[in-house]
Amino acid sequence: MDTIKKALEDLQKGKIVLVYDFDDRERETDMIMASQFMTHEHIRRMRKDAGGLICTTVYGPVAEELGLPFLTDLLAVAAKEFPSMSGLAPFDIPYDTKSAFSVTINHRDTYTGITDRDRALTISELAKIVGMEDNPEKKREELWKHFRSPGHVHLLRTSNELLKERKGHTEMSTALTLMAGLISSATVCEMMGDDGNALSKAEAKRYADRNDFVFLEGEELIDAWKSY
């Protein structure tokens, strides 16, 4: 619980924490931070030190308010016009039953959308909409007004009941923001190794020690969520 407490305090300060999922799942460590504090320096660190795909989560109930679908649902609709899309449905994910991917976005004030500053702007501005008071129509209007798709920030939609249906980094990172009393959106990036594989748990722990980052394991995070 001391580790969880420190992780929540660091998230509240805009710091990155590291979360390893499970030995029988992805076996990956993700860099995680609260989207509302995103800066271009954070994007640079994720890009250079982690190296995976930088994605931003949206809590399931908020995604419903915003009208953000799962990408698999979009493929099902598209298949009516483009039949080959149905063949791309991810029915064979080796570690999971459902993909969390939604659409990709850019803020309309970005240029290409891929630079560190552009992605930081997209992520931090999206967090403002996620954190708006419950007014679904206003939230959707703000989304359409300020964002376009496709873009360079990948959105991940959580399951509606966090860590019950699905126990991925999408859900774990979003649960951390909720426990920390922050806007319910996290930005995550998988840590890659130099051997062509995911960074090992041991190496991720050493990285955390060198950089004064909290390292959490999935089981302790889920136990804390149950208590929360």
Annotated catalytic residue, options 95, 96, 135, 161: 95
Does residue 203 have an active-site annotation? Answer: no
Does residue 106 have an active-site annotation? Answer: yes
How many Å separate Cα 88 from the centre of its chain? Answer: 23
pLDDT per residue as tens digits for the range 180-206: 999 999 999 999 999 999 999 999 999
What is the structure's pLDDT at 69? 94
The pTM for the full model equals 0.94
Annotated catalytic residue, options 49, 64, 146, 152: 152
Annotated catalytic residue, options 26, 106, 118, 189: 106
C-alpha R_g of the chain: 17
Band (86; pLDDT cuts 50, 70, 90): confident
Does residue 30 have an active-site annotation? Answer: yes
The structure tokens listed for 117 are 């500053």
149: Cβ–Cβ under 8 A, 6 or more apart, which residues? 103, 104, 105, 106
Per DSSP (E only), the strands in 9-136 are 17-20, 29-34, 55-58, 101-107
CA atoms within 13 A on the CB side of 119: 22
Is residue 160 within 8 Å of residue 60, measured between CB atoms?
A: yes
Annotated catalytic residue, options 55, 59, 65, 116: 55
Is residue 154 within 8 Å of residue 68, measured between CB atoms?
A: no
Does residue 189 have an active-site annotation? Answer: no
What is the structure's pLDDT at 168? 87
CA distances 91 to 75, 88, 95, 167, 211, Å, are 13, 9, 11, 18, 39
What is the structure's pLDDT at 207? 97
Does residue 55 have an active-site annotation? Answer: yes
Domains and CATH numbers, the chain: 2-227 (3.90.870.10)
DSSP state of 20: E
